Chain A
Amino acid sequence: MKKKMLSLVLAGAMTAALLTGCGSTGADSTSTADGTTNEAAAEDAGADNADAATDNADASDAATDAAEDTGAAAGANGTFKIGGIGPLTGGAAVYGIAAMNGSQIAVDEINAAGGINGMTVELNFQDDELDSEKSVNAYNTLKDWGVQVIDGCVTSACSIAVAAKTAEDNIFQLTPSGSAVECVTNPNSFRVCFSDPNQGAASAQYIGEHNLATKIAVIYDSSDVYSSGIYEKFVSEAANQSFEIVTAGAFTADNKTDFSVQLQQAKDAGADLVFLPIYYNEAALILKQASDMGFDVQFFGCDGLDGILGVDNFDASLAEGVMLLTPFAADATDDLTVKFVTTYNEKFGETPNQFAADGYDAIYTIKAAAEKAGITADMSNEEICTALSAAMTEIQVDGLTGLGITWDASGEPTKEPKAVVIKDGVYTAM
């Protein structure tokens, strides 16, 4: 009897706990909704208050936990809420944190300069742990916060999962670095980076046009979407070019420390160029192992190789002569890049990679589109989404990852890939 009663009480308590859990979040969501209407009202009153805008810029430093104090931040001025999603913890955290930091710099700059159409920009960046399910949770959290535009996700699979939801809810989505084809199939989603096939084709064309090689070996990561996407397109484009692919060695995330087999294959096949559509950590190992076995060959990579000079304990002289196609090189000398790299170094104490640059460009792209479309804070998400999607095809953005970037309705950017060669330990434009 006692046991029964106890179990009843416990079951009751648990149900009650469930109820209060739901109840309290429910209350949160209503208060956020109130917050949004307040802002909308306040927007007309204080849109030109530039001082308040700079004050708010400080507040947005604490962007990730801004969810609680939305009401306070939105008190005096209209705000434009951008929600970012990316991996901030776990193995891919490097990419997510870089994109977040890059976006944050852009947001701070925009707010210091008076915001978008007089609105203060607020960035709330949520962690998705590189898991598409968590990514959707992060997106829903942002929705509760009252997000108006999604800047994400940083990775492809998460981007695809969230894109299905943003299409349903009519929220504009711009992914800084989700490069798989499927990321931008919906009319409301666009991207800043090149798509994977795009990079593969561009690499093949570049090698062919410049007659860099006649026999090419490819080493790629078959368990990685980015790497296998580039590889597939590279192979199909190679058919139209003057070179032939002699070997293709694959590795997976579980065995990416020893590449002697793939290198030996390439050497035996007489390859005079090795194409590496992979990330820089593995590429650093490949360069080391190739040099150990006396395999002196030209290496060619994509934007994933950007950052190879920063790998710990890597002898930079090994990377001498490596060529890569990348939209961003931290050592470029144009004003925009220099300014960005300096700010990034000051704030976060490291040299930005291309994800940071993509994040930075994403925010400025949203700004350009929002200004073109004349977005105001009192517009509904659907209106913003329609207006921005239309405006995206009309704007031209000069960003870190390319000059004069334009978009078509398919969501793909058009920009020139930059080829970079590593000379005397620095990235030099070719």
Chain B
Amino acid sequence: MKKLRINKTTKNDMITYAMVILAYIVVQVLVSTGHVSSLIQGLLVPFCTYVIVAIALNLTVGILGELSLGHAGFMCVGAFSSAVFSLACKDAMPGGLRFFLAILIGAAAAALVGFLVGIPVLRLRGDYLAIVTLAFGEIIKNIINALYLGVDSNGVHFSMKDALSLNMEEDGLMLIKGAQGVTGTPNDSNFTIGVVLILITLIIVLNFIHSRTGRAVMSIRDNRIAAESIGINVTKYKLIAFTLSASLAGVAGVLYAHNLSTLNALPKNFGYNMSILILVFVVLGGIGNMRGSIIAAVLLTLLPEVLRGLSDYRMLIYAIVLIAMMIFNWSPNAIFFRKRLKQRITAGKQPKKEEA
């Protein structure tokens, strides 16, 4: 067994990066040779969006060990802040720079909100984060639905009542129009940028986990009292991890907002159902397992679209597939079965190795 000795975790991370890059190359080749249907082409950016937000939530759930039910809310913050910026600067700067700044703004806005939510809640023990983030997600959605924002030659106008009370000039530009949301966001997202963002997210998260800070965060997850006893500032490390997670969810929101020309805060896309869906990606992919989150996010986004042929039955089938996957992944019997299967395969291989 003379082999290049690479650290096991490094190797594991490399497999994850390689998987993303390989998938990207394969898809690009298929697209350029015309083997990908428009449905899948249209889904490529949503894949990236959900992969990023799944990784972000996995950081909170898997590494920090806290439950967040408001990641759709952070996505929403990132989406709206960046969409407003892009719309306001639509003609002012070139597309590439504008989108780069939009990503930074979306990440910063979501991080700020995550930080503010985290300050009081992460001091507590127990499931308070889940409760507060759940409420936060709903509040954000309702605030945005009542928010009117416009800009004209007199400056920025803002109202929580209706569009008329903004008293805009004729040349004014509506940025957020209450329930109608943001319309006319430039379509800056594409698959390449999405994959680059996934890779950046992975690099940040995986390196964070293996860093000194990451180990401190995991020690809090595993035993809070022991961590405190060796002098770890529990609240500080929890806040770091949670803020990072929120800002990455914000990046996913930026990608989402710049993929569609209209952006509304509906229960469907930023409500708590979406937060639960993101949690499902994480749980199905394996809590704390980034690679699993990626695969689960892609498969579960793809599934309802592939099942379109079954029309109304697809919701039913989707649920059944979800349950089946859950059993296969987590049921003790299924795990035992998989272990035996694995043993049989390796047992079949072992003698061959000895012969050789």
Binding site for B on A (CB under 8 A): 2, 4-8, 11, 14-15, 18-19, 21-23, 25-30, 64-65, 67-68, 88-90, 126-127, 129-134, 136-141, 143-144, 156-157, 160-161, 163-164, 180, 182, 222-225, 228-229, 231-232, 235-236, 250, 252, 254
Nearest first, the 9 closest Cβ-Cβ pairs linking A and B are A26-B35, A164-B261, A140-B42, A29-B37, A160-B262, A143-B38, A140-B38, A131-B268, A140-B39
Contacts of B161 in A (CB 8 A): 250
Contact A65 B35 (CB under 8 A): no
- Alpha-carbon separation in the docked complex, A6 to B291 (Å): 14
Knowing A223-B145, A232-B163, the reply to whether A132 touches B309 (Cβ < 8 A) is no
Knowing A7-B12, A8-B15, A254-B142, the reply to whether A132 touches B260 (Cβ < 8 A) is yes
Knowing A144-B39, A236-B164, the reply to whether A133 touches B315 (Cβ < 8 A) is no
- Alpha-carbon separation in the docked complex, A232 to B164 (Å): 7
Contact B39 A22 (CB under 8 A): no
Is B30 positioned at the interface, with any CB of A under 8 Å from its CB? Answer: yes
Contact A89 B37 (CB under 8 A): no
Is B179 positioned at the interface, with any CB of A under 8 Å from its CB? Answer: yes
- Alpha-carbon separation in the docked complex, A64 to B307 (Å): 12
Contacts of A11 in B (CB 8 A): 15, 19, 291
The interface centre, meaning the residue of A23, A129, A132, A225 with most chain B CB atoms within 10 A of its CB, is: A132
* Chain A residue with Cβ nearest B274: A131
Contacts of B302 in A (CB 8 A): 21
Closest Cβ–Cβ distance, residue A285 to chain B (whole Å): 20
User: Chain B interface: which size bin?
Assistant: 35 or more
- Alpha-carbon separation in the docked complex, A327 to B264 (Å): 28
Contact A21 B306 (CB under 8 A): yes
Interface pick from B99-107, B181-189, B228-236: B181-189
Closest Cβ–Cβ distance, residue A218 to chain B (whole Å): 11
Known: A18-B26, A30-B35. 6 other contacts (CB 8 A): A14-B19, A21-B306, A65-B311, A130-B268, A160-B183, A236-B164
17 examples of A-B residue contacts, CB within 8 angstroms: A14-B19, A15-B19, A15-B26, A18-B26, A29-B38, A65-B311, A127-B312, A132-B269, A133-B256, A136-B42, A140-B43, A143-B38, A143-B39, A225-B180, A228-B180, A236-B164, A252-B142
Task: List residues of B (254-276) whose CB comes within 8 Å of A's CBs.
Answer: 256, 259-264, 266, 268-269
Is B27 positioned at the interface, with any CB of A under 8 Å from its CB? Answer: yes
Contact A126 B37 (CB under 8 A): no
Tell me if B's interface is mostly helix, strand, loop or mixed. helix
Which one, A19, A223, A229, contacts B26 given CB within 8 A? A19
Tell me if A's interface is mostly helix, strand, loop or mixed. helix
Contact B35 A23 (CB under 8 A): yes
Task: List residues of B (1-55) whose CB comes within 8 Å of A's CBs.
Answer: 8, 11-12, 15, 19, 22-23, 26-27, 30, 34-43, 46
- Alpha-carbon separation in the docked complex, A231 to B306 (Å): 41
* Chain B residue with Cβ nearest A12: B19
Task: List residues of B (306-330) whose CB comes within 8 Å of A's CBs.
Answer: 306, 308-312, 315
Knowing A7-B15, A25-B40, A131-B268, the reply to whether A65 touches B178 (Cβ < 8 A) is no
- Alpha-carbon separation in the docked complex, A317 to B305 (Å): 46
Contact A133 B162 (CB under 8 A): no
- Alpha-carbon separation in the docked complex, A28 to B309 (Å): 12
- Alpha-carbon separation in the docked complex, A193 to B310 (Å): 31
- Alpha-carbon separation in the docked complex, A22 to B28 (Å): 11
Is B346 positioned at the interface, with any CB of A under 8 Å from its CB? Answer: yes
Contacts of A160 in B (CB 8 A): 183, 261-262
- Alpha-carbon separation in the docked complex, A144 to B269 (Å): 25
Knowing A11-B19, A132-B262, the reply to whether A22 touches B36 (Cβ < 8 A) is yes
Binding site for A on B (CB under 8 A): 8, 11-12, 15, 19, 22-23, 26-27, 30, 34-43, 46, 142, 145-146, 161-164, 178-181, 183-184, 187, 256, 259-264, 266, 268-269, 291, 295, 298, 302, 305-306, 308-312, 315, 342, 346
Contact A89 B315 (CB under 8 A): yes
Contact B178 A222 (CB under 8 A): yes
Contact B260 A161 (CB under 8 A): yes
Contacts of A231 in B (CB 8 A): 162
- Alpha-carbon separation in the docked complex, A131 to B8 (Å): 43
Which one, A90, A140, A235, A250, contacts B164 given CB within 8 A? A235
Which one, B23, B34, B268, contacts A90 given CB within 8 A? B268
Which one, A131, A143, A222, A223, contacts B269 given CB within 8 A? A131
Closest Cβ–Cβ distance, residue A246 to chain B (whole Å): 16
Closest Cβ–Cβ distance, residue B29 to chain A (whole Å): 10
Which one, A28, A129, A141, A228, contacts B179 given CB within 8 A? A228
* Chain B residue with Cβ nearest A130: B268
Contacts of A131 in B (CB 8 A): 266, 268-269
Contacts of A28 in B (CB 8 A): 37
- Alpha-carbon separation in the docked complex, A65 to B314 (Å): 12
Knowing A160-B261, A222-B178, the reply to whether A141 touches B305 (Cβ < 8 A) is yes
Contact A127 B311 (CB under 8 A): yes
Contact A141 B346 (CB under 8 A): no
Contact B309 A22 (CB under 8 A): no
Knowing A14-B295, A22-B30, A130-B268, the reply to whether A228 touches B178 (Cβ < 8 A) is yes
- Alpha-carbon separation in the docked complex, A182 to B185 (Å): 13
Knowing A7-B12, A222-B178, the reply to whether A26 touches B30 (Cβ < 8 A) is yes
